[in-house]
Chain A
Amino acid sequence: MTRLLAYSDALAEATTLAMERDPAVFLMGVGVDDPGGIFGSTTLPHDRFGDARVFDTPISECALTGAAIGAALTGMRPLMVHARCDFLLLTLDQLANHAAKWSYMSGGRLSAPVVVRAVIGRGWGQAAQHSQSVQAALAPFPGMQVIMPATAYDAKGMLLSALTGRWPVVCLEHRWLYGLKDDVPEGFYTVEIGRARTARAGTDATVVALSHMVVEAMKAADVLAKEGIDVEVVDLRSVVPWDRETVCASVRRTGRLVVADTGPRSFGVGAEIAAVVNEELFGELRAPVRRVGLPDVPTPCAPVLEAAFYPGSADLVRTVRALVRGVDHGARGDASAARHDKPFSGAF
């Protein structure tokens, strides 16, 4: 029996299930108890468990992250939520210097399984400090996992994995995914962190996509299919650790790779994947690895500039087509052609 559930509702359901199963789980963050409930993702747990286990916090993200770590070291399972990814940068000392390292520095005698959710706030003129996609900035700190579920099914299963695991986990959620519905089972299940998902099988080229770029990649694959180009879309789902096996196996079959990231192209996740694919599969590549991601400027505000800033399915279509047809049209990935309808429908 199928049950369609929106991404935001899947997050809320996962949180509620985790809190039912484990009295140590609690949820905190700026605005988690307000009527908006972080785009609807915290309302259900707040209604269900009240202020004792779901509570608003002062706007002191760094200290509250440290408090989450201290709570985790003493038997609690904190889940912290930020309405914007950008605020994670205020917490980087506690995440990178403390959460990620406490287990290793203590010789494994303690661990700090904090889970931090944060929303990538793209769109509607959010500009430079309310829209960033910071996965690459969080990636080089061994001891902390970084996940980016792209479907409601994975949002629930991966959040439950995080809330029942031993690692500190940061979960980055693209705002444009929140309204997307998916078949989501009602009960408890987990999706393993570190395993990619083949969203669409194909033979001519592999697109490894992150978060909302999976949606764009699926659209691009539909367009390219009509041209006779058969694209495999791999939804990476997890940035740290990332699934080398699935990615390399796919690229070994197709011989071509495009990495589609919601974050900056320079020094981004695509750079790491491209480097590993070059190291592992150099002789088997039929074309250079391409990256599609954000150009080297902060996010602008005005709609015309925003449209020029964000790559989408059209960029992926051009990039993949050039790889497969052997014509390089300078697929920079930072130019944008036609825009596509967005599922997003709200001012914030």
Chain B
Amino acid sequence: MIQQAFSDDELLRGDRAMLLVRRAEERVVRQYAEQNADFARGVQPAHAIKCPTHLSIGQEGAAVGVCQELNVDDVAISTHRCHAHYLAKGGDLRAMMAELFGKSTGCARGKGGSMHLVDPDVGMLGASAIVGGSIPLAVGAALSAQMQGRTRVAVAFFGDGAVEQGVFHESLAFAALRRLPVLFVCENNFYATLSHVEARQPVGIPQRATGLGVASVTADGSDLADVLHAARGAVRRARAGEGPTLIEVRAYRWMSHVGTEPDTGRMKRSAEELALWKDRCPLAVLRVRLAARGVPAATLDAMGTEVDAAVEDAVEFARRSPAPSPEDLFTHLAGEGAPS
């Protein structure tokens, strides 16, 4: 039903964006494997990713589905798990890889790393590694849009753990009070590190939003069209001055909370559970649908080739780029660093 509301072009656009996130992160996994092998041999690789890396593999549908409904001047703020949001919002792939490799050409000049990707040119206002910390920032961005009389929408991306913070409740209540144009996008992947949501939360996430006066909807992160549909409605409400919406996107993180290996077998995260969710991989689900619509396999293959080339180019760019100089330690304390 819902998927019929979206054109082939829209779904193909989403397919490419999800594929970009997937392939970029798989490349990060491969980089880690290679450099770990080097470290194990006592070899220091010339270029390495040396920052905590939180991957979104398996839950790309949330970032892509929401960001596809945004304009370039709409803004998003993310969390420690921000690669997908950055890329889906249109962040520069080369600058992301360079940031992960700690280079001066990185999107944050090497000051932020994997957890703080930022690209103001496309409305990616950054990411907080404090759980829940990004939520009020998006509220403030929505407040300024309202005060400036603009139709800009702000999005806070966060995980299921963040709804346990006090600042989540404060932020939603204020956004509801002022009818702010903000989307609260909660990617419920059911685990805060290894702690299951049922061990942490007495009521459902949408129920909390309702209690705070914020409209809410749950979307299936395995079904891009479902996320697109939820986001479209929330963006429409925000632009019409009808206030904030919380979108709970149910998705599953295939990798460990941090790092590049799966953590199944530990606590409640079983291999069986992961296998069930892999069957519902958002990319695979979308591709079945595209095939049924008659999109030729060659089109999708060509897209894969193009995305792989872009990812490889970005890694090459990162490797070629210079590291920051030690003097850069003291720059950028108060916005003085325009991108070069």
- Given known pairs A106-B112, A110-B118, the reply for A98 and B133 (CB within 8 Å) is yes
Residues 88 to 144 of chain B near chain A (Cβ within 8 Å): 106-112, 116, 118-120, 125-126, 128, 130, 133, 135-144
Interface membership of B77, Cβ < 8 A: yes
The segment from A38-46, A58-66, A284-292, A336-344 found at the interface with B is A58-66
CB-based contact A107/B337 at 8 Å: yes
Main secondary structure of the interface of B (DSSP, over half): mixed
Which residues in A have their C-beta under 8 angstroms from that of B326? Answer: none
CB-based contact A63/B120 at 8 Å: no
Contacts beyond the supplied A66-B167, A110-B118: 20 A-B pairs with Cβ under 8 Å: A52-B147, A58-B173, A60-B173, A64-B136, A64-B174, A74-B140, A74-B141, A76-B148, A97-B128, A97-B130, A98-B130, A103-B333, A104-B333, A106-B116, A106-B126, A107-B332, A109-B107, A109-B335, A109-B338, A167-B334
What are 17 A-B interface contacts by the 8 Å CB criterion? A62-B166, A62-B167, A62-B170, A66-B135, A70-B136, A70-B154, A74-B140, A76-B140, A98-B128, A98-B133, A105-B116, A105-B118, A106-B108, A106-B112, A107-B108, A107-B337, A108-B337
A residues with CB within 8 A of B: 26, 52-53, 57-58, 60, 62-76, 78, 93-94, 97-98, 102-111, 113, 142-143, 165-167
Query: CB-nearest residue of chain A relative to B118?
Result: A106
Which residues in A have their C-beta under 8 angstroms from that of B119? Answer: 109
Which residues in B have their C-beta under 8 angstroms from that of A64? Answer: 136, 170, 174
CB-based contact A70/B109 at 8 Å: no
A-contact 0/1 string along B65-88, CB 8 Å cutoff: 000000000010100000000000
Interface membership of B279, Cβ < 8 A: no
Interface size on B, residues (CB 8 A): 49
CB-based contact B177/A70 at 8 Å: no
CB-based contact A111/B334 at 8 Å: yes
CB-based contact A26/B332 at 8 Å: no
Which residues in A have their C-beta under 8 angstroms from that of B135? Answer: 63, 66
* A111 CA to B148 CA, complexed, in Å: 19
Cβ-defined partner of A70 (8 Å) among B77, B331, B334: B77
Number of interchain pairs (Cβ within 8 Å): 169
Residues 31 to 77 of chain B near chain A (Cβ within 8 Å): 75, 77
Which residues in A have their C-beta under 8 angstroms from that of B112? Answer: 105-107
- Given known pairs A63-B136, A69-B137, the reply for A166 and B174 (CB within 8 Å) is no
CB-based contact A66/B335 at 8 Å: no
CB-based contact B143/A71 at 8 Å: yes
* A69 CA to B138 CA, complexed, in Å: 9
CB-based contact A73/B125 at 8 Å: yes
A169 to chain B, nearest CB (A): 10
* A94 CA to B140 CA, complexed, in Å: 12
Query: CB-nearest residue of chain A relative to B182?
Result: A70
Which residues in A have their C-beta under 8 angstroms from that of B338? Answer: 108-109
Query: CB-nearest residue of chain B relative to A73?
Result: B125
CB-based contact B334/A67 at 8 Å: no
Cβ-defined partner of B133 (8 Å) among A72, A94, A110: A94
- Given known pairs A106-B111, A110-B126, the reply for A66 and B171 (CB within 8 Å) is yes
CB-based contact A142/B118 at 8 Å: no
A49 to chain B, nearest CB (A): 12
